[in-house]
Amino acid sequence: MSRFAKNPIPALPKVTVSVDAQILFVKGPLGTLERTIHSSIKVEVGSEGVSISAKNNSKLANALTGTFAAHLKNMMLGVTTPFKKVLILDGIGYKTELKGKELVFAVGFSHPVICAIPDGITVEVVKNTIHIGGIDKEQVGQFAATIRAIKPPEPYLGKGFHYEGEVIRRKQGKKSV
């Protein structure tokens, strides 16, 4: 069993956690998140906090207790302070613009690439920097990864999308003798 799930997880101030059938609800000042509980996990909400335990002694159930404890902590953090990711677009002639609920990229292809922004995600574009935010950590990370997959940074010139603070391993070009 995970060390995260051994002790009850205390609820943060202004956050309420409730369980209805096999669905966990976390409600806070920024919104409500819900997650389906796996059938081999038991979640109980008490005065000390939220207790997560395995229903049986299988490897899957023991592994899922820690995973679910981490998901619950991320849900409680997300409804109090939003998660953020920053993507930077490098390259001459590459540009990003926000049109309504869509991002339009000019990244060296013969056509502009259009990416729809999912519900629950906020996006700000400042020059070639994209700020992605939201209360669901999984959704924010997946949307950032989807954008980065459009044009990942290439190793010779470093052109493409990269996360803020990410170090791109550069290769040396051809040498002339």
> What CATH number has the domain bearing residue 140?
3.90.930.12
Mean pLDDT of 51-78: 92
Q: Domain check: are 139 and 100 in the same one?
A: yes
* pLDDT class of 3 with cuts at 50, 70, 90: confident
* Alpha-carbon span 135 to 170, nearest angstrom: 34
Tell me, what's the pLDDT at 177? 63
Q: Domain check: are 34 and 8 in the same one?
A: yes
Task: Tell me which long-range contacts 54-57 makes (C-beta under 8 A, separation of at least 24).
Answer: 54/1
* pLDDT class of 7 with cuts at 50, 70, 90: confident
129 within domain boundaries: yes
Tell me, what's the pLDDT at 158? 87
Q: How many domains does the chain have?
A: 2
Q: Domain check: are 93 and 62 in the same one?
A: no
Is residue 133 within 8 Å of 118, Cβ to Cβ? no
Of 39-48, 53-62, 135-144, which has the strongest mean pLDDT? 135-144
Q: Domain check: are 101 and 156 in the same one?
A: yes
Would you say residue 116 has pLDDT above 90?
Answer: yes
Q: What is the domain range of residue 97?
A: 83-163
Task: Tell me which long-range contacts 39-42 makes (C-beta under 8 A, separation of at least 24).
Answer: 40/64, 41/65, 41/68
What is the pLDDT of the chain when averaged over all its residues? 92
